[in-house]
Amino acid sequence: MDLGLAERVYILTGASKGLGLATAEALVADGARVVISSRSQASVDAAVEQLGADAVGVAADLTDPATPELLLRTAKETFGRLDGALISVGGPSLGTALEQLDDHWREAFETVFLGSVRAARTFAAVLEEGGAIAFVLSTSTRVPLPGLGLSNGLRPGLAGVAKDMADELGPRGIRVVSLLPGRILTDRNRQLFAASDDPAQAEATSTAAVPLKRMGQPEEFGKVAAFVLSPAAGFLTGIQIPIDGGSTRMI
């Protein structure tokens, strides 16, 4: 199946590893070119080397208001265009909503919420018809997850913003979609398991709760994300797509 990605250009934040890198790999494999970013220069350099000549990297933090313009300028100067973006940030610190102090909420808001909204707003301003923006959120937008109070509080609001943007950008032919990864074997989920009293049991319990009876792999998320961003998904917008092996118990 030709996704129509040849020579199209995408910005991917938080993409030096995990779900972002897996998406970059899927895009490049289908002929796209990518600008990836994360806060670590070493991680960015390693990812670019892995992706090859169709990728460039920028060490940058989405909490910096200048970052979206920097990424946009890099895409334009390197590849001459921008066709879409995958906006992803690292998960906020662990703990229940009552355990988080004001400073924790402010920091998470700047990173998870405001940084993502600012990036989407900046990229949307220059996208043309056929452009696409995908937010990497969490199944916590539908079902609160134990011990993830910050995510439970902020990501549902971001899903609402994504829906609002989809409505506003639709007449311009620009699509906005939210992706909801579930139990996928990333560093983030390994961190969650490690924080439990019995990491092995925590992983086994999580795996047993997935109807497919296994954890997902980052590349499985990446292929879905690449499709969503591609012209092949041109009539898909304003929705949340769980990528969770069926573990979200909603119809």
Q: Which domains does the chain have, with CATH numbers?
A: 9-184+217-242 (3.40.50.720)
Which among 192, 168, 190, 164 is positioned nearest to 178, based on CA atoms?
Answer: 164
Mean pLDDT of the chain: 94
pLDDT in tens, 144-201: 988 899 999 999 999 999 999 999 999 999 999 999 999 898 877 777 777 777 888 8
Separation CA 156–CA 101 (nearest Å):
20
Q: How far apart are the first and last CA of the chain?
A: 28
Considering the entire predicted model, what is its pTM?
0.94
Q: How far is CA 67 from CA 19, 46, 86, 135, 221, in A?
A: 20, 20, 14, 17, 25
- What is the token pair recorded at 39? 């806060």
DSSP letter at 91 equals P
pLDDT in tens, 50-84: 999 999 999 999 999 999 999 999 999 999 999 99
Position 93 confidence tier, pLDDT thresholds 50, 70, 90: confident
